[in-house]
């Protein structure tokens, strides 16, 4: 791949108290590519990605977007770089309805400066109609929605605003088989549109299926490097997660 | 958030397939419940007092007694919705009241050489008070938002600090009488009279109907479902009846003959035979209505309001959505401070002087009003009209019991019990509706 990477995370480190949650990790991401991030709970995957989404400030290292150094100190900065994140917790305000959550922080307003509720609901109905045609509860707070419906609201929020870089933190953890299929199809479609996607997941089979490349983290460190998914078996990936050693003969 | 928080009354309308007559009206059940409780209280006291509770005079008094706490309660809704608390509102009221009293009786006279009774005195004093209140509130918000000291501690300290800053400012003296223009905001000394009260009623009816119509048109414009026309008409008729009934009651409270005689004498005239005049809508109540209107628009139609409720519902989600929750905290407490100063205008004007103990225990009344009005301490849920109704219910209980002749200790015991009961009913209500 000779083109410029969409995202370069170079030598990122972050520590909480005495714990090195992320320890000199480098990962890159190209347009139209899905990079999987694997590892046990607490391996540092989510923490690494939160440096990119602006939720955490890294202690050292640099982030480059399209080859240029990026300063991301809060979630607003990340959004300005068209980085959208679907958090594991979904990060929805449960007391608000779907439209309010979708546009949270980016509300549509009328000329008077007041929020344009009608326009926001209409847009929400449009995007939800594409993602989840059965969704009808537009005036209920999201706490009244099922796990899958909540997930689709969170996904709608990430894809509505023309994301270039999408971060998905275990997007299928709370979903049934059918909804998982839906997310997989969506990832394929977004890939075709040229988005770069970081997919954090536990499931090596899913990573094998959905991702182009994968990186495994253990105790805050990258195990080997970023590997091409085609070059490794699920057993290799499992070995990397459990033993923390790259399989022999795989170019890191 | 837990599932108990699932029913936000103003955002929620369960979409059911079959819709009964009642469902078609799309009425807010919590609002109905509170209005029902209020009517019940009013009717019970009315029968216990032999019809004295629901006289125009008592309704008038009830409304002007409610204003000060109700104004602050609207601000407390924002504070509690974002999972904070403000224990310093009564003390902040005292400090701003002291500042305004000193401004209009001493400081403005000494510094600017304005004579007592100068028409600008009241307005400069009010402006000064509002600035001081907003600044203190913003400072509280900064301590809470940026220095991350818990709101409970900041405002508990503030309760002591500002109560005694007020004391120091006036040397503990009662300051009065206050400026005549200033006293217009107190209630009985500033009313709109019959004609202007009805002008207000007409404007209010027009505005209410227009708001209803334009909301319906917006929904139709986007092709969203709307309620049937007859239901829209019924809700509109209820609102119109409530506005007209309220104004009719207030304009039925006539100014006593001896007061009229005194007024005419003061102007060097003689009271004409058969002349009567009514008080009508007090300016303080008009002020409360304006505050309620602005705060409701802020809560529902502005980004600030949306961020307040989002932060209350899920602070982490709000932060991750790029909302500056620290600055938001400063804004919320600044609004609270502003409203404390506004309440101080009403409270001191009603007394016609500033006293050292003004606003004592108001923090508890204000928090109780907000909570009885359906504001959840767990955050994310609350309405402006609920808080005002909560204040009205508390004041009705208090003055109703006083009229019946209940001993003072029992009055407070009952109000305390009602607060706890209201929250219990609310929890049960949310569990039921959240489950269905």
pLDDT tens column, B294-353: 999 999 999 999 999 999 999 999 999 989 999 999 999 999 999 999 999 999 999 999
A101 and A9 within one domain: no
A108 interface with B at CB cutoff 8 Å = no
Q: Are strands A19-29 and A165-169 parallel, antiparallel or unpaired?
A: unpaired
Q: Given an 8 Å threshold on Cβ–Cβ distance, is A104 in contact with B306?
A: yes
Contact list in B for residue A115 (CB cut-off 8 A) is 301-303, 306
Contact list in B for residue A156 (CB cut-off 8 A) is none
Residues 6+ apart with CB under 8 A from B307: A105, B318, B323, B325, B328
Domain assignment present for residue A176? The answer is yes
- pLDDT over threshold 80, residue B3: no
A62 and A101 within one domain: no
Distance of CA B431 to CAs B7, B293, B418, Å? Answer: 9, 30, 20
3-state SS class at B110:
helix
CA atoms of B183 and B180, how far apart (whole Å):
5
A131 and A95 within one domain: yes
DSSP annotation string for B25-45: HT--HHHHHHHHHHHHHHHHH
Q: What average pLDDT does the segment A224-252 reach?
A: 78
CA atoms of B378 and A95, how far apart (whole Å):
11
A3 and A64 within one domain: yes
Q: Given an 8 Å threshold on Cβ–Cβ distance, is B317 in contact with A139?
A: no
C-alpha torsion sign, points B355, B357, B363, B364: negative
pTM as predicted: 0.89
A135 and A91 within one domain: yes
Write down the residue that tokens 């080997």 correspond to: A224
| pLDDT at residue A139, rounded to an integer | 85
Domain assignment present for residue A64? The answer is yes
Q: Among B219, B306, B307, which would you mutate to test the A interface (most chain A Cβ atoms within 10 Å of its Cβ)?
A: B306
Q: Give the range of the structural domain holding residue A129, as residue numbers without chain letter.
A: 85-188
| Total number of domains in chain A | 2
Domain assignment present for residue A244? The answer is no
**Do A155 and A182 meet the contact criterion of CB atoms below 8 Å apart?**
no
- CATH number, domain with residue A116: 3.40.50.300
Using the CB atoms, write b or e for A60-88: b if 16+ within 10 Å: ebebbbeeeebebebbeebbebebbbbbe
Q: What average pLDDT does the segment A182-211 reach?
A: 89
Q: Phi and psi dihedrals of B59, rounded to 5?
A: -60, -40
Chain A nearest CA to B177, separation (Å):
42
Contact list in A for residue B221 (CB cut-off 8 A) is 118
CA atoms of A83 and A85, how far apart (whole Å):
7
Distance of CA B425 to CAs A151, A194, B29, B85, B366, Å? Answer: 33, 54, 13, 22, 19
C-alpha torsion sign, points A47, A51, A54, A58: positive
Per-residue pLDDT of B179-237, as tens digits, reads: 989 999 998 888 888 899 999 999 999 999 999 998 888 888 887 888 888 888 888 99
**Option in A91, A97, A114 nearest B320 (CB):** A91
Contact list in A for residue B318 (CB cut-off 8 A) is 93, 104
Number of C-beta neighbours around residue A183 at 10 A = 22
Chain B nearest CA to A42, separation (Å):
19
Contact list in B for residue A114 (CB cut-off 8 A) is 297, 301-302
Q: Are strands A68-70 and A60-65 parallel, antiparallel or unpaired?
A: antiparallel
Name the DSSP letter for residue B290.
Answer: H
Q: Are strands A196-200 and A34-38 parallel, antiparallel or unpaired?
A: parallel
Contact list in B for residue A105 (CB cut-off 8 A) is 307, 321-323
Q: Chain B residues within 8 A (CB-CB) of chain A? A: 1, 3, 5-8, 11-15, 218-219, 221-224, 297, 301-303, 306-307, 309-314, 316-323, 380-381, 434
Domains of chain B: 3-190+282-435 (1.10.3470), 195-277 (no CATH)
**Option in B6, B303, B310 nearest A144 (CB):** B6
CA atoms of A211 and B212, how far apart (whole Å):
52
Per-residue pLDDT of A24-62, as tens digits, reads: 999 999 999 999 999 888 888 989 999 999 999 999 999
Chain A nearest CA to B369, separation (Å):
22
3-state SS class at A233:
coil
Bridge partner residues of A115 (DSSP): A109
Per-residue pLDDT of B133-188, as tens digits, reads: 999 999 999 999 999 999 999 999 999 999 999 999 999 999 989 998 999 999 88
Domain assignment present for residue A230? The answer is no
A103 and A13 within one domain: no
The domain boundary, picked from A153, A188, A223, lies at A188
Give the CA angle between residues B395, B167, B69 to the nearest 5°. Answer: 15
A147 and A63 within one domain: no
Domain assignment present for residue A194? The answer is no
**Option in A109, A139, A143 nearest B6 (CB):** A143
Give the CA angle between residues B131, B135, B137 to the nearest 5°. Answer: 120
Torsion of CA B109, B113, B116, B120, to 10 degrees: -90
A141 and A97 within one domain: yes
Domain assignment present for residue A126? The answer is yes
């Amino acid at each position: 791949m000779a083109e410029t990477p969409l995202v370069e995370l170079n030598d990122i480190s972050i520590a909480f108290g005495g714990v090195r949650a992320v320890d000199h990790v480098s990962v890159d991401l190209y347009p139209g590519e899905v990079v999987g991030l694997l590892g046990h709970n607490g391996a540092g995957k989510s923490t690494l990605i939160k440096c990119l989404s602006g939720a955490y400030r890294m202690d050292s290292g640099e982030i480059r977007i399209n080859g240029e150094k990026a300063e991301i100190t809060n979630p607003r900065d990340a959004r300005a770089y068209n980085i959208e994140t679907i958090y594991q917790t979904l990060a929805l305000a449960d007391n608000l309805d779907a439209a309010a959550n979708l546009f949270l922080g980016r509300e549509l307003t009328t000329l008077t400066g007041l929020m344009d509720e009608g326009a926001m609901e209409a847009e929400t109905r449009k995007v939800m109609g594409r993602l989840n045609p059965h969704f009808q509860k537009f005036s209920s707070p999201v706490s009244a929605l099922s796990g899958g419906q909540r997930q689709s609201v969170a996904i709608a929020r990430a894809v509505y605003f023309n994301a270039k870089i999408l971060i998905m933190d275990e997007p299928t953890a709370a979903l049934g088989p059918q909804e998982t299929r839906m997310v997989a199809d969506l990832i394929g479609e977004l890939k075709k549109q040229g988005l770069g996607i970081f997919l954090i997941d536990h499931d090596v089979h899913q990573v094998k299926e959905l991702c182009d490349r994968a990186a495994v983290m253990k105790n805050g460190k990258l195990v080997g490097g970023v590997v091409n998914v085609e070059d490794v078996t699920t057993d290799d990936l499992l070995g990397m997660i459990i033993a923390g050693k790259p399989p022999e003969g795989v170019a890191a | 958030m837990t599932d108990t928080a699932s029913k936000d009354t103003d955002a929620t309308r369960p979409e059911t397939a079959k819709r009964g007559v009642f469902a078609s009206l799309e009425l807010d059940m919590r609002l109905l419940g509170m209005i029902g409780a209020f009517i019940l209280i009013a009717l019970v006291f009315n029968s216990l007092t032999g019809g004295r509770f629901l006289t125009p005079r008592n309704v008038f008094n009830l409304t002007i007694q409610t204003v000060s706490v109700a104004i602050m309660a609207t601000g407390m809704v924002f504070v509690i919705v974002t999972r904070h608390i403000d224990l310093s509102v009564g003390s902040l009221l005292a400090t701003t009241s002291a500042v305004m009293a000193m401004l209009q009786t001493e400081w403005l006279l000494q510094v600017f050489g304005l004579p007592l009774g100068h028409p600008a005195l009241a307005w400069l004093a009010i402006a000064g008070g509002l600035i001081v209140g907003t600044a203190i509130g913003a400072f509280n918000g900064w301590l809470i938002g940026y220095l991350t000291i818990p709101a409970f501690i900041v405002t508990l300290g503030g309760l002591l600090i500002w109560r005694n800053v007020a004391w120091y400012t006036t040397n503990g003296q009662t300051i009065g009488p206050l400026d005549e223009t200033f006293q217009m905001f107190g209630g009985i000394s500033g009313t709109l009279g019959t004609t202007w009260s009805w002008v207000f009623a007409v404007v209010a009816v027009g505005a209410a109907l227009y708001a209803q119509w334009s909301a319906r048109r917006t929904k139709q414009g986007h092709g969203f479902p709307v309620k049937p026309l007859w239901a829209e008409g019924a809700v509109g008729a209820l609102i119109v009846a409530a506005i007209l009934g309220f104004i009719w009651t207030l304009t039925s409270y006539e100014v006593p003959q001896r007061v009229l005689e005194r007024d005419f004498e003061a102007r060097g005239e003689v009271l004409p035979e058969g002349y009567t005049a009514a008080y009508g809508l007090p300016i303080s109540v008009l002020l409360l209505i304006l505050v309620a209107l602005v705060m409701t628009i802020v809560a529902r139609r502005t980004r600030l309001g949306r961020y307040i409720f989002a932060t209350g519902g899920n602070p982490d989600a709000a932060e991750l959505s790029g909302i500056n929750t620290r600055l938001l905290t400063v804004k919320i407490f600044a609004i609270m401070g502003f409203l404390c100063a506004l309440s101080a205008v009403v409270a001191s004007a009603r007394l016609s002087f500033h006293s050292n103990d003004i606003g004592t225990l108001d923090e508890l009344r204000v928090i109780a009003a907000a909570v009885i009005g359906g504001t959840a301490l767990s955050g994310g849920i609350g309405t402006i009209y609920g808080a005002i109704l909560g204040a009205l219910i508390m004041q009705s209980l208090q003055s109703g019991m006083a009229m019946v002749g209940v001993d003072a200790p029992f009055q407070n015991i009952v109000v305390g019990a009602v607060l706890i009961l209201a929250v219990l009913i609310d929890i049960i209500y949310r569990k039921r509706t959240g489950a269905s």
